Amino acid sequence: MAIAIRGVSAEQTRAFHVAMGNPFGFDPTEQQTERMLRCFEVDRLRAAFDGDQIVGTFGAHSLDLTLPGGRLPASGVTVVTVLPTHRRQGVLRTMMADHLREIHEKGDEPLAALWASEADIYGRFGFAPAVQGLFETKIEKPKARLRETVDLAGTMRWIDADEAAERLPPVYDAVRRERPGMFARPDTWWRDRLLDDPESNREGHSALRTVVHTRDGRDVGYVQYRTKVGMDDDVKAVVVRELVAVDPEAERAAWQFVFGIDLSTVVKGFNLPVDCPLPWWLEDSRGVNLKVEDSLWLRLVDVPRALAARRYRTEGAVVIGVRDAFCPWNEGTYRLAATADGTATCDRVEQRPEIETDVNGLATVYLAGHRVGDLARAGRFRGEAAAIDRADRMFDWSRRPWCQEVF
């Protein structure tokens, strides 16, 4: 029977969630489905139907993504699943092709982004790993000591979810506007996704604790963490879910606070930025393990608009030939020209390209999480050495990207 891809009606949302739970390995309760509906844009959910059965799920968040020196709307692809009975029959390929065509035709999201469960799924659709993070960070308590302790300016205060909903967003916004790879969080995202803390999210840990750091009358940082510090547990852990600070001093103060939580034997972090200064601050820089993995994957849906929307580190121009088999509207040659203030234009030209890549190569370097020169050494960019070097310097940026959370 032919598979049909359609939107999801209100009556079908429960079946959608159950179908999604199957390949992801969970069985949602009614209550969890209600929560899911608050956390997703229902009009952007799509299902693959075999007759009246949902056999594939797909969704998108409307993201406002920070770029080097700019921002763009991006489709945050999510809840991608296909039932084991229907795998490898092209269901995902059809859902992805529909989605990219739809956002291309609407024209308001020049980028798509996602977190990939496996590295070999999304490259064929033009996505590439654009951001990295530090995962499974773990510091045994005796090593959780700063080289220079912080003389805490201001106060640290524990706050509840209602107060957090008021006080965390301004701190977060100040940081995410400057950091490529982060995205804006609407109020509902804070309330229903981050601060709502059902027992089923805790995996044996405490409720989410939030501490805010205030300096000179202004909130400058916060930490959200859980603990597993019962008297009977062998490993008494502090698990940092999010640590955000507007400057390095506030960040160091937040880590000092975390290290000072008593009755813990280990401090764990998930997905810290790759340029997190923590190892430089520790008395023993080997005391923290640094496991680098890809986090956000990116897809340029509209190549010239995407390239013109970010800023560039150096002035210059380069003519780039782009291959894009999955979204052929992007195929062609573009002249990217950046001025001294970093702003750029990108125009389609009839010229011999100086450098060539596929749309994946562009996605990899777009947020400045990887360098054109490194990709060229891997054969993913080709061209004359001088043009590669020029592009390498242009695409670089002063901050490494970070994507703060899995969606």
Ligand X SMILES: CC(C)(COP(=O)(O)OP(=O)(O)OC[C@H]1O[C@@H](n2cnc3c(N)ncnc32)[C@H](O)[C@@H]1OP(=O)(O)O)[C@@H](O)C(=O)NCCC(=O)NCCS
Which residue from 8, 92, 111, 238 is in contact with ligand X, where contact means CB under 6 A?
92
Residue numbers 175-234 binding ligand X by CB under 6 A: none
Q: Where are the beta strands (DSSP E) in 185-269?
A: 209-215, 218-228, 237-245, 266-269
C-alpha–C-alpha distance, residues 16 and 22, integer Å: 10
122 is catalytic: yes
| Residue nearer to ligand X on the CB measure, 255 or 326 | 326
The DSSP secondary-structure symbol of 192 reads I
Which of residues 25 and 142 has its CB atom nearest to ligand X in the complex? 25
Q: Which of 122, 259, 312, 326 is catalytic?
A: 122
Binder to ligand X among 3, 5, 18, 121 (CB under 6 A)? 121
Residue 81 lies near ligand X (rule: CB under 6 A) = yes
Give 318's contacts (C-beta < 8 A, 6+ positions apart).
Answer: 335, 336, 354, 355, 387, 390, 391, 394
DSSP letter (8 states) at residue 221? E
Q: SS3 for 324-339, per residue?
A: CCCCHHHCEEEEEEEC
| Least spacing, CB of residue 364 vs ligand X, in Å | 18
CB-CB neighbours of 369 under 10 Å: 25
Under rule CB under 6 A, residue 120 binds ligand X: yes
Task: Out of 19, 65, 67, 80, name the contact with ligand X by CB under 6 A.
Answer: 80
Nearer to ligand X, 84 or 186 (CB): 84
Pairwise CA distance, residues 5 & 223, whole Å: 42
97 binds ligand X (CB under 6 A): no
Nearer to ligand X by C-beta: 80 or 245? 80
Residue labelled with tokens 């005796």: 142
How many chain residues touch ligand X (CB under 6 A)? 18
Q: Does 88 bind ligand X (CB under 6 A)?
A: yes
Q: Does 89 bind ligand X (CB under 6 A)?
A: yes
Least separation, in Å, of the C-beta of 76 and ligand X? 12
Annotated active-site residue 135? The verdict is: no
For CA atoms 17, 8, 1, 97, the dihedral sign is negative
Residue from 45, 72, 74, 116 touching ligand X (CB under 6 A): that is 116
Going by DSSP bridges, is the β-strand pair 137-140/218-228 parallel, antiparallel, or unpaired? unpaired
Residues annotated as catalytic (active site), given as ranges = 122, 407
Give the interface with ligand X as residue ranges (CB under 6 A): 23-24, 80-82, 87-93, 116-118, 120-121, 124
